[in-house]
Amino acid sequence: MSEDELLDFAGEVMPKYMRPRHIRFIEALPLTPSSKIEKYKLKQQLLAELGRTS
């Protein structure tokens, strides 16, 4: 699935306020040893990609 296909799908089935503003495809989610998603690492990756520090 491409970004455009995903945005088109979201536009068909979701109200405007629920549609994602940003879409990133990644190989795997960063996980803790107990298999919980490390959200702060996702945020760090996005900020690094955008060239921001916080």
The token pair at 3 is 């970004």
Residue 29: inside a domain, yes or no? yes
Residue 31: inside a domain, yes or no? yes
Is pTM beyond 0.85 here?
no
Domain residues for the domain of 49 are 22-54
pLDDT tens track, the chain, 54 positions: 899 999 999 999 999 999 998 888 989 999 999 999 999 999 998 889 888 766
Name 31's Cβ contacts closer than 8 Å, sequence gap at least 6. Answer: 37, 38
Number of domains making up the chain: 1
Residue 45: inside a domain, yes or no? yes
Residue 50: inside a domain, yes or no? yes
Residue 41: inside a domain, yes or no? yes
CB 38 within 8 A of CB 31: yes
Q: What does the buried/exposed string (b/e) look like for 1-20 if buried means 16 or more CB atoms within 10 Å of the residue's CB?
A: eeeeeeeeeeeeeeeeeeee
Alpha-carbon gap, residue 32 to 12, rounded angstroms: 35
